[in-house]
Amino acid sequence: MKVRIQAEPFELPFDTRTTALVIIDMQRDFVLPGGFGEKLGNDTSLLLAAVEPTRLVLEQARRIGMFVIHTREGHRPDLSDCPPAKLTRGGVTFIGEPSPMGRILVRGEQGHDIIHQLYPLAGEPVIDKPGKGSFHATDLHQILTNRDIKTLIVCGVTLEVCVHTTVREANDRGYECVVLSDCVASYFPEFQRVGLEMIKAQGAIFGWVSDSERFMKATNV
């Protein structure tokens, strides 16, 4: 299905058959108290605003048969894939430490998994990534290439960290990325505002910005 989405800085045509919805790191460790996000000193409640709009977009994508991919940031239990510089970021180690949701950012732990509202269905690939970007040290590009994916509709957290890194990586690999402003969130309101501005500045320097409502309009045909 060929559609057009209203977006900034300008409307973008895409084909739903060559488009993927990518939901980045909607994990308990970032979104709920007790996990990595809170340990870093953040108010995790700010991220909850993105959950319901993302749920509606996910429901719509599933309804129209759009390819859906989820990502999770985290590490092997022995932390052998965690760079020392990441482990001690800020001079304090949280990754791998115990929390009320299990060991922080460790695969297989409760906190590492995706929140129930956005839980993947069977058949929707889940990309486990050791970095902030979803392409670094993962098979995401291969999976997208195999499906002939050209356009990414991007949701998730946090905007200025894993969403930005992923969109920048995707743009350099030739994908057109549309970030849905109400389906992404930051621990810092100022970063949310300026993070969206950065993406669409200079004639969509590395992507487009739209929102869940305009995604619905574009795909309700």
Examine the residue annotation and report whether 86 is marked as an active-site residue of this protein.
no
Measured in Å, how far apart are the chain's first and last C-alpha atoms? 9
Report, in Å, the least distance between residue 151 CB and ligand TIU. 22
C-beta of 112 vs 200, nearer to ligand TIU: 112
Q: Which of 19, 22, 73, 166 binds ligand TIU (CB under 6 A)?
A: 73
Q: Which of 14, 21, 25, 99 binds ligand TIU (CB under 6 A)?
A: 25
Buried b (16+ CB within 10 A) or exposed e, 59-90: ebbeeeebbbbbbbbbbeeebeebeeebeeee
Asked if 38 is part of the footprint of ligand TIU (rule: CB under 6 A), the reply reads no
Examine the residue annotation and report whether 129 is marked as an active-site residue of this protein.
yes
Measure the CA angle with vertex 62, ends 61 and 68; round to 5°: 70
Report, in Å, the least distance between residue 147 CB and ligand TIU. 24
Tokens of 199: 């993406």
Q: Beta-carbon neighbour count of residue 221 at 10 Å?
A: 10
Report, in Å, the least distance between residue 72 CB and ligand TIU. 9
Q: Which residues on neighbouring strands pair with residue 178, listed in sequence order? A: 153, 208
Q: Which of 152, 154, 162, 179 binds ligand TIU (CB under 6 A)?
A: 162
Where does this chain bind ligand TIU (CB under 6 A)? Answer: 25, 30, 40, 73, 132, 157-158, 161-162, 187
